[in-house]
């Protein structure tokens, strides 16, 4: 996940998080966008608030691999059909 994904999944607005952690909404926004880095205590508090792990906050999932495209057969060669 990510900071924002964890927050949204937990059902909080940026303002609600800011109020809970005694900070500003702008600071929460900057954590989510990567402009500011959170200290260890803030990460711990966010993980408790969101019900996720610190690892969830720091390590967003890797993108899915692209769909594999089957290799084209050379021109003139066709796959044999199996008949029952």
Q: Answer whether residue 33 is part of any domain.
A: yes
- Tell me the H-state helices in 34-77: 40-50, 54-58
Confirm whether 45 is domain-assigned.
yes
Structural domain including 39 reads 3-58
pLDDT above 90: percentage of residues in the chain: 55
Q: Are 6 and 56 in contact (CB under 8 A)?
A: yes
What span, in angstroms and rounded, lies between the C-alpha atoms of 84 and 19?
Answer: 70
Is residue 14 included in any domain, yes or no?
yes
- pLDDT tens digit sequence for 34-54: 899 889 999 999 999 999 999
**Residue 12 domain-assigned (yes or no):** yes
Q: Model-level pTM greater than 0.85?
A: no
CATH of the domain at 49: 1.10.260.40
Domain count for the chain? 1
State the pLDDT confidence band at 63, using cuts at 50, 70 and 90.
confident
What integer pLDDT is reported at residue 80 of this predicted model?
A: 56
Q: How many other CB atoms sit within 10 Å of the CB of residue 16?
A: 15
15-37 tens-digit pLDDT: 999 999 999 999 999 999 989 98
Query: Considering the domain boundaries, does residue 75 fall inside one?
Result: no
């Amino acid at each position: 996940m990510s900071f924002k994904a964890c927050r949204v999944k937990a059902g909080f607005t940026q303002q609600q998080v800011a109020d809970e952690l005694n900070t500003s909404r702008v600071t929460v926004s900057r954590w989510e966008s990567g402009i500011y880095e959170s200290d260890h205590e803030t990460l711990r508090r966010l993980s408790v608030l969101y019900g996720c792990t610190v690892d969830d906050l720091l390590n967003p999932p890797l993108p899915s691999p692209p769909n594999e495209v089957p290799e084209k057969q050379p021109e003139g060669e066709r796959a044999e059909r199996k008949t029952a």
